[in-house]
């Protein structure tokens, strides 16, 4: 539960009454219907910045008026609406029932907590998967936005596959990755994430099995599972040793697709060699296993350019290629793209029209401008790479200093992440909570694989060097205490 409200200390009304009135308003207008679980007294006191005794007083009055109920040590809940007190036989909607019994799974608890904590202004984000605000191209973006000759197209719905200008520009852009795709084979989506949603809804059936490298970013989402599909782990190290494991697992599970992040994999930053890429493509083709190639980090190489995209070796139309502007220009634009055969792109575009009637036309026009202004784009990407290199080197230096006896890691050659392997397992929940108490936010490995107790995903893309070092030192201290 989120509260953006604080009591007014200058107001003559006592604070406990202000809290009581605030809760009554929430109940009165149905924002907190019957069944809503209120924060514990301690939590609410923290949230609104008062003593616990003040909240106790407010809750006691609400209880005596029959609006809420709370038993010592248990949840405090709304049990009555304000009008229901007067209209005793009125019926009340049980929204809890709807929420709990709906189709879509909630996020993993770690992800829910991360999504909330990220917006605490004092938090240090040690695992975040986005560029630091200092690396976002604010100045160029201002110029691009002000140079946009706004006309009605920017304010209208776009065509089903997205802006033709943007698709033409992307068709040219991805040629540099070895991919040949006509604009009609590209669909603009609202971030790479929507591509997975459309693929799941538009191409797969309930009970489908999807092979996924383990660990993987995909395990941090519940979107396939919510559609009654199962993600099957293919251990990444086994895959790199012996690609034939894909065939074995496809047969064993009757799998429908393989999802892979072949370039600067999230969370390990691993990239397949060119040889391995050719093997995956030809193997999947020979066993008729379609592939989703998630390539959102490709341009963020630090040491040397990665091998060509898997899609560039695909002459059979077996690969759905997913890209995004999120990791390079702006996640807030919410723009991604899918490249695939005609039939698939038409199907996904039809579904997209039913889902949101197209990605923001203005965002599409902005990205189009970025791709048109090639020198701006290249200068920006160049700057980001240089910065990421410095940050990566800094974080690796800190790890050498504070973690040489506690953990192991591989120095990444691109993107944002270091997959830290602790020498001793430690409860991810305990570690997460202990650090959160110190305003440090980590991404436990358990988000990305089932048995993630010995890993953490660190990121050097977001925090300042001072914050990185401070947080890593704290992390090392807690690990020492707990192992």
Q: Establish if 296 lies at the interface with ligand PLP (CB under 6 A).
A: yes
Q: Which is nearer to ligand PLP, 36 or 266 (CB)?
A: 266
Q: Which is nearer to ligand PLP, 380 or 434 (CB)?
A: 380
Q: Establish if 231 lies at the interface with ligand PLP (CB under 6 A).
A: no
Exposure letters 123-156 (e unless 16+ CB within 10 A, then b)? bbbbbbbbbbeebbbeebbeebeeeeeeeeebee
In the set 158, 213, 293, 294, which binds ligand PLP (CB under 6 A)?
294
Q: Establish if 67 lies at the interface with ligand PLP (CB under 6 A).
A: no
Q: Establish if 414 lies at the interface with ligand PLP (CB under 6 A).
A: no
Question: What distance in Å separates the CA atoms of residue 391 and residue 126, rounded to the nearest whole number?
Answer: 12
Site string for ligand PLP, 192-221 (x = CB under 6 A): xx-----------------------x----
Q: Which is nearer to ligand PLP, 217 or 370 (CB)?
A: 217
Q: What is the DSSP code (8-state) at residue 463?
A: S
Alpha-carbon separation of residue 100 from 105, 197, 278, 315, 329 (angstroms): 9, 21, 45, 45, 37
Q: Establish if 127 lies at the interface with ligand PLP (CB under 6 A).
A: no
| Number of neighbouring beta carbons within 10 Å of residue 76 | 20
Question: What distance in Å separates the CA atoms of residue 471 and residue 440, rounded to the nearest whole number?
Answer: 6
Q: Which is nearer to ligand PLP, 131 or 479 (CB)?
A: 131
Q: Which is nearer to ligand PLP, 296 or 300 (CB)?
A: 296
Pairing of strands 230-235, 76-78: unpaired
Q: Which residues contact 344 (CB under 8 A, 6 or more apart)?
A: 203, 320
Site string for ligand PLP, 160-199 (x = CB under 6 A): -------------------------------xxx------
Report the nearest approach of ligand PLP to the CB of residue 286 (Å): 26
Q: Which residues contact 465 (CB under 8 A, 6 or more apart)?
A: 391, 394
Q: Establish if 360 lies at the interface with ligand PLP (CB under 6 A).
A: no
Which tokens is 411 given?
């120095």
Q: Establish if 261 lies at the interface with ligand PLP (CB under 6 A).
A: yes
Question: What distance in Å separates the CA atoms of residue 271 and residue 279, rounded to the nearest whole number?
Answer: 14
Q: Which is nearer to ligand PLP, 34 or 325 (CB)?
A: 325
Q: Euclidean distance between the first and final Cα of the chain, in Å?
A: 33
**Which residues are at the interface with ligand PLP (CB under 6 A)?**
129, 191-193, 217, 261, 266, 294, 296, 324, 326, 331, 336
């Amino acid at each position: 539960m989120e509260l953006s409200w604080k009591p007014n200390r200058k107001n003559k009304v006592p604070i406990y009454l202000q809290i009581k009135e605030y809760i009554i308003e929430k109940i009165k207008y149905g924002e907190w219907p019957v069944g809503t679980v209120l924060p514990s007294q301690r939590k609410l006191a923290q949230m609104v910045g008062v003593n616990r005794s003040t909240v106790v007083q407010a809750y006691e009055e609400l209880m005596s008026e029959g609006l809420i109920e709370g038993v010592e040590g248990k949840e405090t809940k709304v049990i009555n609406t304000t009008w229901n007190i007067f209209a005793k036989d009125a019926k009340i909607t049980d929204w809890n029932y709807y929420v709990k019994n709906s189709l879509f799974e909630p996020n993993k608890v770690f992800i829910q907590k991360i999504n909330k904590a990220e917006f605490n202004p004092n938090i240090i984000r040690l695992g975040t998967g986005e560029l630091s605000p200092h690396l976002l191209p604010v100045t160029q973006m201002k110029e691009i936005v002000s140079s946009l000759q706004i006309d009605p197209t920017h304010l209208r719905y776009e065509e089903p596959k997205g802006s033709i200008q943007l698709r033409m520009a992307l068709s040219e852009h991805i040629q540099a990755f070895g991919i040949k795709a006509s604009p009609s084979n590209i669909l603009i989506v609202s971030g790479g994430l929507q591509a997975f949603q459309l693929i799941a809804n538009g191409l797969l059936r309930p009970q489908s099995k999807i092979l996924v490298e383990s660990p993987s970013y995909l395990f941090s989402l519940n979107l396939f599972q919510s559609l009654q599909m199962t993600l099957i782990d293919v251990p990444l190290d086994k895959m790199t040793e012996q690609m034939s494991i894909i065939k074995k697992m496809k047969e064993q599970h009757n799998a429908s697709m393989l999802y892979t992040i072949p370039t600067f994999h999230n969370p390990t930053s691993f990239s397949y060699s060119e040889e391995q890429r050719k093997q995956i493509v030809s193997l999947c083709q020979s066993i008729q296993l379609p592939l989703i190639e998630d390539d959102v980090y490709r341009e963020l190489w630090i040491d040397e350019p990665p091998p060509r995209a898997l899609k560039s070796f695909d002459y059979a139309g077996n690969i759905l290629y997913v890209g995004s502007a999120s990791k390079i220009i702006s996640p807030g634009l919410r723009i991604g793209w899918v490249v695939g055969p005609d039939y698939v792109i038409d199907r996904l575009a039809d579904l997209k029209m039913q889902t949101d009637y197209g990605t923001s036309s203005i965002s599409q026009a902005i990205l189009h401008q970025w791709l048109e202004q090639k020198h701006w784009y290249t200068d920006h990407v160049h700057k980001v790479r240089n910065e990421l290199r410095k940050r990566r080197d800094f974080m690796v230096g800190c790890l050498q200093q504070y973690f040489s006896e506690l953990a192991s890691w591989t120095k990444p050659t691109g993107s944002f992440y270091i997959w830290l392997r602790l020498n001793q397992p430690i409860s991810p929940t305990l570690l997460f909570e202990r650090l959160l108490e110190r305003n440090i936010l980590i991404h436990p490995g358990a988000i990305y694989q089932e048995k993630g107790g010995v890993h953490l995903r660190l990121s050097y893309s977001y925090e300042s060097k001072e914050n990185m070092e401070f947080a890593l030192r704290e992390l090392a201290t807690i690990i020492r205490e707990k192992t």
